[in-house]
Homo-oligomer: A and B are copies of this chain.
């Protein structure tokens, strides 16, 4: 089948509510600083009522990555579930406005579009509480074979491991991708996700995943180790390529025969780290889809991450293509 997309992604369709918060607020609310915690609607409403005024902006990890890929000039598709409501309309608009193919039908009856309450502390760290709403109603029936079979890389968001129907959808997508000779990429998403689903994730990675994205904490959690070298060996044994991000320490790209160590791209001031990992994955996959050398892929990831942490919001605010051109990438 003709390759219509560089990357097709499957993830939670979420609108972010981003508000500034001080450290006392994070403690007083008992939030897990820097992590993503799932909340039900009641707890979400309670927390929202106490948060500062916010801005609403489309989010969702894999959807952010797709937005970054589109900003770099890649051909992209996204599969994920919104509700038939105002925030669902916003989410769909923000993808389609940048040329992302988004064929998923909104949920007609049921919970509202997913919302992620993002409290950003003065150091730029983001603490997230997610009400999954309609996004967990994504099932294998939403996997459009025409999209999966036409994508060079099929990118899956680890957060979806929290929902059983979505995990079935992953299996279906992976099967279709495999049968069409497509590459499968996965992001581990969050340390707590790894804790909750370690065995299932390890099995899925070994059996299906070509390209894995993780931050250092997630990679260590996956192999229950505190030694990064152990995690690196574990990843190398299971994937064709793994990327491990290490915040200001840069990242590692672990291939078959080589490990590329990539410096973090310099940033004047870190405003909001939301989307850093998402944009890193966008840069790396853009490079991979274009057949660029491993180091260049890493630099593209670092550059995209640097752009997004220098402002509020999880998606690029300038053309990453123009930025990459300027940097000769």
Q: Which of A53-61, A160-168, A193-201, A262-270 contacts B (4 or more CB under 8 A)?
A: A53-61
Q: Decide if A67 touches B53 in the complex (CB within 8 Å).
A: yes
Q: Decide if A53 touches B86 in the complex (CB within 8 Å).
A: no
A20, A94, A317 — which one has the most chain B CB atoms within 10 A of its CB?
A94
Residue numbers in B under 8 Å from A48 (CB-CB): 93
Residue numbers in B under 8 Å from A20 (CB-CB): 317
Contact with B along A39-71 (1 / 0, CB 8 A): 000000000110111111110000000010000
Contacting B at CB under 8 A, from A63-114, are 67, 85-87, 90, 93-98, 112-113
Query: Is A313 on the interface with B (CB-CB < 8 A)?
Result: yes
Interface size class of A (residues with CB under 8 A): 20 to 34
Query: Is A315 on the interface with B (CB-CB < 8 A)?
Result: yes
Question: With contacts A86-B86, A86-B87 known, is A313 near B55, CB below 8 A?
Answer: yes
Question: With contacts A86-B85, A86-B112, A112-B86 known, is A94 near B54, CB below 8 A?
Answer: yes
User: Shortest distance in angstroms between A307's beta carbon and chain B's nearest beta carbon?
Assistant: 15
Residue numbers in B under 8 Å from A67 (CB-CB): 53
Question: With contacts A48-B93, A93-B48 known, is A55 near B53, CB below 8 A?
Answer: no
Residue numbers in B under 8 Å from A49 (CB-CB): 93, 96-97
Interface residues of A (CB under 8 A from B): 17, 20, 48-49, 51-58, 67, 85-87, 90, 93-98, 112-113, 313, 315, 317
Q: List 26 A-B contacts (CB under 8 A).
A: A17-B90, A20-B317, A48-B93, A49-B93, A51-B93, A51-B97, A52-B97, A52-B98, A53-B58, A53-B95, A53-B97, A53-B98, A53-B315, A54-B90, A54-B93, A55-B55, A55-B57, A55-B313, A56-B56, A56-B57, A56-B90, A85-B85, A86-B86, A86-B87, A86-B112, A86-B113
